[in-house]
């Protein structure tokens, strides 16, 4: 078993999580794809890195988020697709609903999104920027209100 905990892949040619299948101790992953990749990123993985806390994917066309729900330890998710990539169908955010540890999600995209309300239901979310939508929540206890 590989004990790799931090991985940065630059100019990756394959828009998928396949490269990290079996890296169970991985905590941080940054993938930057080569410009011009036209296939949507595939978050599905046979043996996902279950300890992954931070995932950053740059320049990958945005499609389905299916597979992200298996990354139960994920706290930070940043997706910044190639702005020149064609926009496909609206992106369904429901796979994020199972990420109970997610605190920060940033998806820098002009794509359309479905089921954005799942973000508001995440128990630990503090910062959310999805397209033009912002759902930041102050960290810590709720402030007291006066009548």
Greater confidence, 134 or 80? 80
Domain definitions of the chain by residue range: 6-134
Give the DSSP letter string of 26-47.
Answer: --EEEEEEPTT--SPPB---SS
Dihedral over Cα of 96, 83, 51, 45: its sign: positive
Give the DSSP letter string of 88-100.
Answer: -SPEE-GGGGG-T
Report the DSSP pairing between strands 133-134 and 127-130: antiparallel
Q: What is the mean pLDDT of residues 10-17?
A: 90
Q: What is the DSSP letter of 20?
A: G
Checking if the pLDDT of 127 tops 80, the result is yes
Checking if the pLDDT of 88 tops 90, the result is no
What confidence category does residue 139 fall into, taking pLDDT thresholds of 50, 70 and 90?
A: low
State pLDDT tens for residues 23-67.
999 999 999 998 778 888 999 999 999 999 999 999 888 889 999
- In the numeric block, which tokens belong to residue 141? 């206890």
Q: What is the model's pLDDT at position 143?
A: 47
Mean pLDDT in the chain? 88
Confirm if 33 and 55 have CB atoms less than 8 A apart. no
What confidence category does residue 17 fall into, taking pLDDT thresholds of 50, 70 and 90?
A: very high
Q: What is the mean pLDDT of residues 73-101?
A: 89
Closest CA to 49 of 11, 80, 82, 9: 9
Q: Where are the beta strands (DSSP E) in 6-86?
A: 6-12, 28-33, 54-58, 76-80
Reduce the DSSP state of residue 69 to 3 states and report it.
Answer: helix
Q: Whole-model pTM?
A: 0.88
What confidence category does residue 140 fall into, taking pLDDT thresholds of 50, 70 and 90?
A: low
Checking if the pLDDT of 145 tops 80, the result is no
CATH superfamily of 6-134: Ribonuclease Inhibitor (3.80.10.10)
């Amino acid at each position: 078993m590989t004990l790799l905990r931090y991985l940065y892949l630059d100019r990756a040619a394959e828009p998928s999580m396949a490269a990290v299948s079996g890296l169970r101790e991985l905590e941080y992953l940054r993938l930057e794809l080569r410009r011009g990749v036209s296939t949507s990123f595939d978050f599905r993985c046979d043996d996902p890195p279950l300890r992954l806390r931070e995932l950053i994917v740059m320049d990958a066309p945005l499609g389905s988020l299916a597979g992200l729900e298996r990354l139960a330890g994920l706290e930070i998710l940043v997706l910044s697709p190639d702005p020149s990539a064609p926009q496909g169908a609206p992106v369904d955010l429901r796979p994020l609903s199972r990420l109970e540890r997610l605190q920060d999600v940033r998806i820098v995209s002009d794509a359309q999104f479905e089921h954005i309300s799942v973000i508001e239901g995440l128990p630990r979310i503090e910062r959310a920027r999805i397209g033009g939508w912002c759902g930041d929540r102050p960290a810590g206890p709720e402030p007291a209100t006066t009548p």
